[in-house]
Amino acid sequence: MQCAKNKARLQAAIDFAESEELFKASVNERTLHFINCQLKMQIKKSRGRSPKAYKLLRRTFALPSRRTLMALLAHAAPMHCGINENLIRSLGESVQKMDPIDKHCVLLGSN
Structural domain range at position 28: 2-68
DSSP code of residue 78 = P
**What pLDDT does residue 91 have?**
85
Contact partners, residue 104, CB within 8 Å, separation at least 6: none
Q: Does the residue 103 lie in any domain?
A: no
Q: Does the residue 21 lie in any domain?
A: yes
What is the pLDDT tens value at each position of the chain, 111 positions in all? 677 777 887 887 777 767 766 657 777 778 778 777 777 777 777 665 678 878 888 888 888 888 888 888 777 766 677 787 888 898 888 888 888 888 777 666 665
CA atoms within 13 A on the CB side of 7: 4
**What pLDDT does residue 107 have?**
66
**What pLDDT does residue 22 have?**
66
Q: Does the residue 82 lie in any domain?
A: no
Torsional sign, CA 10, 45, 66, 30 = negative
Q: Does the residue 83 lie in any domain?
A: no
Domain count within the chain: 1
